[in-house]
Amino acid sequence: MENLMLTGGNTPFEKAAQRRLESSKKATAMMATTELIRLIAECDNMIGIYKTAMRNFSDDPTQENKTILEEDLGLATQAMKDKRSAEAALLQLMHAAEDLGFVA
Residue from 80, 77, 86, 69 nearest 44 by CA: 80
Fold for domain 32-104?
A: Methane Monooxygenase Hydroxylase; Chain G, domain 1 (1.20.58)
pLDDT tens figures, 68-104: 888 888 999 999 999 999 999 999 998 888 877 776 5
Q: What is the pLDDT of residues 7-25, one digit of tens each?
A: 566 888 888 888 898 888 8
pLDDT of amino acid 8: 63
Closest CA to 64 of 43, 72, 77, 46: 72
Residue whose C-alpha is closest to residue 47's, from 55, 91, 21: 55
Confidence of residue 35 (pLDDT cuts 50, 70, 90): very high
DSSP string, 33-89: HHHHHHHHHHHHHHHHHHHHHHHHHHHS--HHHHHHHHHHHHHHHHHHHHHHHHHHH
pLDDT tens per residue, range 52-65:
888 887 777 888 87
